[in-house]
Amino acid sequence: AAGVIQSPRHLIKEKRETATLKCYPIPRHDTVYWYQQGPGQDPQFLISFYEKMQSDKGSIPDRFSAQQFSDYHSELNMSSLELGDSALYFCASSPVGGAHYGYTFGSGTRLTVV
Amino acid sequence: AQTVTQSQPEMSVQEAETVTLSCTYDTSESDYYLFWYKQPPSRQMILVIRQEAYKQQNATENRFSVNFQKAAKSFSLKISDSQLGDAAMYFCAYRSARNTDKLIFGTGTRLQVFP
């Protein structure tokens, strides 16, 4: 079965650079969620989109932005990167009204800022 | 604000034995959903089991079952007949039934399985 696809799998950036993470949800899933998991920490909710509109917002820094496109894939743009942005970034998806069944997560993008 | 607490940073179990992972949560809401996610070394977050707060019956998925005590705000995970492949980080998570997408995770319990 198709899963949530995230790219790239690994990314190394320097401080003050920009990074773009991509997420391709499961077919017919129209809701996408982004989470950040710092080293040894639990995942923290960043933002979510439903039908290309932002549906909920968590602790996402102003330096980060995200959007969902017409094909339902989503991109997380991170600018002015800081060392503290080094983390595992998860994308998850669910069908409309199906979030209470639990999301399906991607394998994550490990971002390292040096 | 809701919080999720996992008081056991690490647990270990012998293969084929049973282990219980603890989770408590704090909320003023009456309707919500609870989940256990598994994160193996591959890093993928895998849904293990879910529970709807309005259902009194404890959820079961093969070797995995929960003990949901709504009044005590407790949601423990029992793994029976533990297997080496069960070794992972386990996260308990809460989601309000209100209009929010956010999953609130606990800090996780690392489970080791010994042969």
Q: What is the mean pLDDT of chain B?
A: 94
pLDDT of residue B72: 96
Which residues 6+ apart lie within 8 Å of A94 measured at CB? A29, A31, A33, A101, A102, A103, A104
Considering only the beta carbons, identify the residue of B95, B100, B107 that sits closest to A42: B107
Instruction: State both tokens at A75.
Output: 């991109």
pLDDT of residue B101: 79
pLDDT above 70: percentage of residues in chain B: 100
Q: List pLDDT tens digits, range A99-114.
A: 667 789 999 999 999 9
DSSP for A11-31, written as a single string? EEE-TT--EEEEEEPPTT--E
Q: Rounded mean pLDDT of B7-36?
A: 96
Name the residue of chain A whose CA is nearest to B105's CA: A42
Residue B43 has pLDDT above 90, yes or no: no
Considering only the beta carbons, identify the residue of B44, B91, B95 that sits closest to A42: B91
Q: List pLDDT tens digits, range B61-74.
A: 999 999 999 999 99
Question: Among B103, B104, B110, which would you mutate to test the A interface (most chain A Cβ atoms within 10 Å of its Cβ)?
Answer: B103
pLDDT of residue B100: 76
CA–CA separation, A18 and A13 (whole Å) = 8
Residue A1 has pLDDT above 90, yes or no: no
Question: Among A10, A23, A42, A91, which would you mutate to test the B interface (most chain B Cβ atoms within 10 Å of its Cβ)?
Answer: A42
Q: How far is CA B94 from CA A19, A91, B2, B53, in A?
A: 30, 18, 8, 10
pLDDT of residue B49: 95
CB contact under 8 A, B101 and A42: no
pLDDT of residue B65: 97
HSE of A58 in the Cβ direction (CA atoms, 13 Å)?
17
Residue A41: list chain B partners with CB under 8 A: 107
Between positions 39 and 68 of B, the ones with CB within 8 A of A are 42-47, 50, 52
Name the residue of chain B whose CA is nearest to A42's CA: B107
Residue A97 has pLDDT above 70, yes or no: no
Residue A95: list chain B partners with CB under 8 A: none
Q: Radius of gyration over alpha carbons of chain B, in Å?
A: 14
3-class secondary-structure state, position A38: coil
Considering A50-54, A79-83, A104-108, the range whose residues carry the highest mean pLDDT is A79-83
Q: Rounded mean pLDDT of B88-107?
A: 91
Residue A24 has pLDDT above 90, yes or no: yes
CB contact under 8 A, B43 and A100: no
Residue A86 has pLDDT above 90, yes or no: yes
Q: Establish if B33 touches chain A: CB-CB under 8 angstroms.
A: yes
Residue B103: list chain A partners with CB under 8 A: 33, 35, 43, 45, 103
CB contact under 8 A, B43 and A56: no
pLDDT above 90: percentage of residues in chain B: 86
